[in-house]
Amino acid sequence: MKLSISNEFEDLNFALSIFDPNLEIVSCEEGIILEINEKFEGLDSVFKKLTEIYNFNKSLKDFKRIRKTQEIEPIIHSFFTLISFYYQYKKLLIISNLKQINFLKGVSDLFNLDYLFFYLLNIQVGLIKEVEEVEGSDNLFLEKVDFGNTLQIVSGVRQLISKEDFVGHKFLFITNIKPSKVMGIPSNGMILCGKEDDKIVPIKVKDDIPIGTRLLLEKGNNINENLINVIDLKKSFFKNLFDKLEVKNGFIEFEGLKGVLKGELYESELKNGIIS
């Protein structure tokens, strides 16, 4: 059984890929087509057949209503719960509003979707263009970092790395955190450091990885990866997400899934440790 589906039905794609991981889903230019022994085209025809196959507990009319109203469904093992989750999760990506977080966490626990919250973190490859020592501090560097656009970032890594090993090299940063001030200096991101025993190092990236590349997971979220909004790491939910990042056997992991840069697993110089 194969389902060809366009971006118009991203919600259907998202829900079905979780509801039936064995269903073959491919992209198409427009519309929706289901192929079994025969071909079904258009939402009405396809949904009717899917209802027969999966014994959906609600109708096409309900599906269209939920799409329109984005209402909250009960937290049960249901396709329609996943449709509701899709809209609330997408809203979380876009506006970082935690209003429906209990619903989202409940559904993610039911369907093992905790890894999806990783995509609230915009972790990117940045090239260090300039570095200055912050006057009055033994620990701080002030950096100009190129992500395709240049951001000013203050990092407490002066005792961890020399200017010579810093400038002209690429590292991982989280770039969608709420801007802050460090010793009165505006900072618009945070470098990622790994800690293994007593060793702490900024997480370096190979030179051939393009600037601005986003760290993804080996398992995606079937939603446009460019849906990013500012998050506040002072809020416990977002801080707890960040704290789930770790290095295991040389790989960055989140909820047991490895980090990927440009389609390849990212390998760290650290073997095991935490990320901060």
- Average pLDDT estimate for 50-56: 95
Name the residue type at position 4.
S
- pLDDT of residue 222 exceeding 80, the answer is no
- pLDDT of residue 157 exceeding 90, the answer is yes
Residues with Cβ within 8 Å of 229's Cβ and at least 6 positions away in sequence, in order, are 93, 94, 95, 96, 176
Phi, psi angle pair for 119, to nearest 5°: -75, 0
What pLDDT is recorded for position 268? 85
What pLDDT is recorded for position 224? 65
Q: In terms of C-beta distances under 8 Å and separation of at least 24 residues, what long-range contacts does 164-168 make, across chains too?
A: 166/128, 166/131, 166/141, 166/202, 167/128, 167/129, 167/130, 167/131, 168/127, 168/128
- Average pLDDT estimate for 11-39: 94
Phi-psi region of 163 (alpha: psi -120 to 50; beta: other; left: phi over 0): alpha
Residues with Cβ within 8 Å of 81's Cβ and at least 6 positions away in sequence, in order, are 73, 74, 75, 107, 110
From CA 266, how far away is CA 249, in angstroms rounded?
11
- pLDDT of residue 127 exceeding 90, the answer is yes
- Average pLDDT estimate for 233-254: 94
Q: Place 102 in a pLDDT band, splitting at 50, 70 and 90.
A: very high
Q: Place 70 in a pLDDT band, splitting at 50, 70 and 90.
A: very high
User: What tens digit of pLDDT does each residue of 160-177 get?
Assistant: 999 999 999 999 999 999
Share of the chain above pLDDT 70, in %: 99
- pLDDT of residue 192 exceeding 90, the answer is yes
User: What tens digit of pLDDT does each residue of 83-99 get?
Assistant: 999 999 999 999 988 99
pLDDT, averaged across the chain: 94
What pLDDT is recorded for position 270? 86
Domains in the chain with CATH codes: 119-275 (2.40.50.140)
From CA 225, how far away is CA 60, in angstroms rounded?
28
Helix (H) or strand (E) holding 259: strand 257-261
Burial class (CB in 10 A: 0-12, 13-18, 19+), 247: buried
Q: Does the global pTM surpass 0.85?
A: yes
What pLDDT is recorded for position 267? 87
Share of the chain above pLDDT 90, in %: 91
- Average pLDDT estimate for 250-269: 92
What pLDDT is recorded for position 225? 63
Name the residue type at position 44.
D
What pLDDT is recorded for position 129? 98
Cβ neighbours of 231 (radius 10 Å): 22
What pLDDT is recorded for position 21? 93
- pLDDT of residue 252 exceeding 80, the answer is yes
